[in-house]
Chain A
Amino acid sequence: MGFFRALLHFYPASFRAEYEEELAAIFARRLRDASGWPGRLAVSIDILFDTLSNAAAVHWDILRQDLRYALRLLVRAPGFTLTAIAVAALGIGATTAAFTVTDHVLLRPLPFPEPERLVKLWEDQSPQGIPVVEPSPANYRDWKRMNTAFEAMAAYTDISANMVGAGEPERLDGAIVTADLFPMLGVQSALGRVFGAADDRGDAPPTLLLSNAFWKRRFGGDPGVLGRKVILNDVAYVVIGVMPEDLHFPRRTTQFWTPARFVEASFADRTDNYLNVIARLRPGFSIERARSEMRVVAAQLERTYPKENLHLKVSVTSLRDEVSQKSRLLLMAVLGAAFCVLLIACANLANLLLARALARRRELAVRTALGVGRERLVRQLLTESLILAICGGILGVLLAFGALPLLTRLVPNGLPIADVPTIDLRVLAFTAALAIVTGLGFGVVPSMRACGSGADLSGLREGSRGGLGGRKERLRSALVMAEVAGSVVLLVSAGLLIRALWRLEASDPGFRSQGVLAIETMLPMPKYASPARRNQFYSQVLTEARALPGVAGAAYASFLPMVNTGGIWHVTVEGRPPDEVKARDAGLRFVTPGFFATMGIPLHAGRDVGESDRPETPLVAVVSESFVRKYWPGQNPLGRHFAIADATREVVGVAGDVKVRGLERISEPQVYIPYRQLPDGIGQWYGPKELVVRSSADPGALVPTLRQIIGKADRDQPISQVRTLAEIVEADTASRAAQVRVLGAFAAIAFLLAGIGLHGLLSFTVSSRSQEFGVRMALGAQRADILGMVLRDGVRLAMAGLVPGVTLAYLAGRTLSALLAGVNAGDAPTFLTVVGLCFAMTLAGSLLPAIRAIRLDPTLVIRAE
């Protein structure tokens, strides 16, 4: 019989209390009446199913009843209901938004079959200080040949190319891939076919795959594009396929793919590092096993090529983890902040419900007196809080939808995923779970409290009030303290990040960004292989640009700072022993005369490069200050010689340092070489392509004229990028600015919620202590005394939250230190500002209750008693 009694626990307790005895009696009777053990077994099974199905039905009945009752009550108190829903929506919305982007970037599997088996392989040159280097084709070929850990290995590299011949010339981002890449990823073409081995041979005719977006934009989604010829960098490619819409590989800006078509010469230089290598682990092989195997492969290659592969290891990382540590930390900070907002929202809601439960003491006491069990009441109250949380959840999802455009900026560039995270079933399931947990979280304590000893018959006494400093009051105070502490943590974190952003924005990039327009015109090869033709283009464009009204200077350079950080070469200096390993020492840029003046880069010594610096005159260079500090500290560098890019050059000038890698990173020394001394063979990459124009007027107004000038110099020459240097500097801190905005918004919400919580608690205290205040005033207390009492209460609460909040905030700042750009985690101005804000909030929150307290008329209050 014990089993059947236990079964009855599937019924709600209130139902059990009513009918348990009878049900048990009937079970006993049915068992007694059953004949033999088969009969008893049949009866037992029948009772089991009957109990399960009916218990579910009873629960459902009660739920419907509670829902009806709760909805009626909530509609009757619209102010409370709307406030609670709004608070829940803020918490759930913030968390949903943060989860959406974190899930998109960090958690969701990559959009390929069995993505966990995909890995990326890098050359690990840690002894040279560079743990992650793109592999060379020669090493890639050997790794592929010598390993057994991978089912397939493929390589790709980013390129960009000028497309002409189909309307407006255009600069496109694309990728060169080996033919086995797409089969390895498990990607098929949406139209046509992907590359086969025949397309990837050195002598194969050039073929091309288009991205879906590019196909739609440029060819109107015409299936007839297959077989058409497209001219990229003066070479005709035949379109053989269009890739599916959701393929963003290797990055989301990729618009076309061509086969690598390696020839034997591609493998000649083992230190020609430019490939990205990706591989698929054999089924059952762990990444650890692959690593240990690649250690053996690397050691073998080091023995075979002791010079080129000295100390060269192979690093194997999961493709999913190709997110920088900084992006990861940034997203975790945003998610953490969102959870903080959610907790604060829960504390706020719990407080609202506690206050409401006190106001409903009479109702609850009446229901208890009518014989409604405690479990039923708790259940009823939880239903109410769940309704609030679910409504808040629905509103929160809408808020998250609204926040998506801002969140998109938190998605890092280099991943093969879409730029806009989607709010899909997965996210909605998370939000639903969140809403339920939230509803239980903020509902459970208030409802237990409401239905506990406080709800006894004493609640029936008219005018009974919550005991001052009683248990409920302490709980509510603790919740408000937690809210204050949480908002302090968020305010300090946001404040530290704002300070870091300011510090970066105020830091000197090494050039004057205001008033400079930059236009990219990549001169295609082999059309511009001849120096004469190149120089003709530059001089025509620059002469006409310099003649424009308001233009103070114009120049061409290989790369813009912060846009292209590449082009780094080994340097050898006369009189210094050669380095044991080839180090990447200095960035190399080819510039026309006037580059430094146009960019606003100071020339500290010597001269600018000149038109007279020609291939037949002595090879010269302007170097940066840090270059001088590295090689000739404390000496005059002018007239000294060093070798870079296979030629020895004389230093003729010293320019200021430029933060070419962005404001937050350490940049290598720079070497500037006159554009006429560009060696053959590196023209495509190093040939000056960035036109910079300094104007005293709005640089944007120059764009149409400059387009005309460029079009006149070469009708087929596309303009790929137009932006101002100021925009480039701004873009350098854009993800940081987006993060600051998100965290700032969270902090503001938290701060507001904490203020509301404080205000609510003090208002409640004042109204429940009105009699006490009245008596005090009747006995001679001054209004200032009463005001002081209320304000002291507020300050005490704020202080109690502030102290743990400041401690936690310091710890949070320490965790974020990688994002703080050198701002101290204990940054005094930030902390002082937050403490100041906190006191302002306390005053603002206490003011109304305090005014209400001193306006009390003692005679009225006492008479009311």
Chain B
Amino acid sequence: MPDDFPVPASLLPLPEATFHILLAVADADRHGYAIIQDVAARTGGELKLSAGTLYRSIPRMMEQGLLVETRERPAPEQDDERRRYYRITPFGRDVAQAEVRRLAQLLDLARASGFVTGRA
């Protein structure tokens, strides 16, 4: 229950799981298991988000104002009533973009010092 919403920069750097969850819900509302699957697919199976980590991150992200639970449900034949769907908030989008910028600046710094060759 934050008193007021913080500026995006105050949440950076984002924990890895938080960033991936934001990416997973960036284009569509998703339920928990769908987020896990999306993260796995996006990282080529390299990052397997556990259910515990996911559901520990979600309440915190909702508290921080990054996510909301949505009442909109998919068509009944695709739905499971136990599922809960999450949607990114505009603030969540801002934070994700701020994190992307931060990572990009980091990458630029690394390139400038010759750590990285070619395109990432």
Interface of B is mostly: helix
Q: Which residue from chain B places its CB closest to the CB of A24 in the assembled complex?
A: B82
Q: Which residue from chain A places its CB closest to the CB of B53 in the assembled complex?
A: A54
Given contacts A21-B82, A22-B82, A25-B82, contact A58 B56 (CB under 8 A): yes
Chain A residues with CB under 8 Å of B108's CB are: none
Chain B residues with CB under 8 Å of A21's CB are: 82
A712–B83 Cα distance when bound, in Å, is: 104
Chain A residues with CB under 8 Å of B33's CB are: 22, 25-26, 29
Range class of the A interface residue count: 20 to 34
A26–B84 Cα distance when bound, in Å, is: 12
CB distance from B11 to the nearest CB of A (A): 15
Interface of A is mostly: helix
A399–B36 Cα distance when bound, in Å, is: 55
Interface mask (A34-73 → B, CB under 8 Å = 1, otherwise 0) = 0000000000001100110111011001000000010000
Interface mask (B31-57 → A, CB under 8 Å = 1, otherwise 0) = 111001000000000000011110110
Q: Does residue B102 face the partner (Cβ distance < 8 Å to A)?
A: no
Once the chains bind, are A26 and B51 in contact (CB under 8 Å)? yes
The contact of A23 among B31, B51, B80, by CB within 8 Å, is: B51
Q: Which residue from chain A places its CB closest to the CB of B58 in the assembled complex?
A: A19
The contact of B55 among A23, A30, A47, A53, by CB within 8 Å, is: A23
Q: Does residue B90 face the partner (Cβ distance < 8 Å to A)?
A: no
The contact of A26 among B1, B32, B56, B58, by CB within 8 Å, is: B32
Q: Does residue A631 face the partner (Cβ distance < 8 Å to B)?
A: no
CB distance from B87 to the nearest CB of A (A): 16
Once the chains bind, are B59 and A50 in contact (CB under 8 Å)? no
Range class of the B interface residue count: 10 to 19
Q: Does residue B101 face the partner (Cβ distance < 8 Å to A)?
A: no
CB distance from B95 to the nearest CB of A (A): 19
A19–B60 Cα distance when bound, in Å, is: 13
Once the chains bind, are A51 and B52 in contact (CB under 8 Å)? yes
A15–B50 Cα distance when bound, in Å, is: 16
Chain A residues with CB under 8 Å of B51's CB are: 22-23, 26-27, 30, 47, 50
Once the chains bind, are B50 and A54 in contact (CB under 8 Å)? yes
Chain B residues with CB under 8 Å of A51's CB are: 52
A57–B31 Cα distance when bound, in Å, is: 22
Given contacts A29-B33, A61-B60, contact A22 B53 (CB under 8 A): no
CB distance from A66 to the nearest CB of B (A): 11
Q: Which residue from chain B places its CB closest to the CB of A72 in the assembled complex?
A: B3
A61–B53 Cα distance when bound, in Å, is: 13
Interface residues of B in 23-37 (CB under 8 A from A): 31-33, 36
The contact of A50 among B1, B50, B83, by CB within 8 Å, is: B50
Chain B residues with CB under 8 Å of A29's CB are: 33
A23–B56 Cα distance when bound, in Å, is: 11
Given contacts A22-B83, A25-B80, contact A50 B55 (CB under 8 A): no
A506–B59 Cα distance when bound, in Å, is: 74
Q: Does residue A18 face the partner (Cβ distance < 8 Å to B)?
A: yes
A19–B56 Cα distance when bound, in Å, is: 10
CB distance from A482 to the nearest CB of B (A): 37
Interface mask (B63-103 → A, CB under 8 Å = 1, otherwise 0) = 00000000000000000101110000000000000000000
A18–B33 Cα distance when bound, in Å, is: 15
The contact of B53 among A19, A30, A50, by CB within 8 Å, is: A50
Chain B residues with CB under 8 Å of A46's CB are: 50
Q: Which residue from chain B places its CB closest to the CB of A60 in the assembled complex?
A: B56
Once the chains bind, are A53 and B59 in contact (CB under 8 Å)? no
Once the chains bind, are B32 and A54 in contact (CB under 8 Å)? no
Once the chains bind, are B55 and A61 in contact (CB under 8 Å)? no
Q: Which residue from chain A places its CB closest to the CB of B51 in the assembled complex?
A: A26
Q: Which residue from chain B places its CB closest to the CB of A370 in the assembled complex?
A: B1
Chain A residues with CB under 8 Å of B82's CB are: 21-22, 25
Once the chains bind, are A22 and B50 in contact (CB under 8 Å)? no
Given contacts A46-B50, A54-B50, contact A22 B56 (CB under 8 A): no
The contact of B32 among A22, A30, A55, A58, by CB within 8 Å, is: A22
A46–B80 Cα distance when bound, in Å, is: 25
A25–B58 Cα distance when bound, in Å, is: 17
CB distance from B64 to the nearest CB of A (A): 12
Chain A residues with CB under 8 Å of B59's CB are: 15, 18
Which residues of B does A touch, CB under 8 Å?
Answer: 1, 31-33, 36, 50-53, 55-56, 58-60, 80, 82-84
Besides the known contacts A22-B82, A26-B36, A51-B52, 15 further A-B residue pairs in the complex with CB atoms under 8 A apart: A15-B55, A15-B59, A19-B32, A22-B32, A22-B33, A22-B84, A23-B55, A26-B33, A30-B51, A47-B51, A50-B50, A50-B53, A54-B53, A54-B55, A61-B56
23 contacts between A and B (CB under 8 A): A19-B32, A19-B55, A19-B58, A22-B51, A22-B55, A22-B83, A22-B84, A23-B55, A25-B33, A26-B33, A46-B50, A47-B51, A50-B50, A50-B51, A50-B53, A51-B52, A54-B52, A54-B53, A55-B52, A57-B56, A61-B56, A61-B60, A69-B1
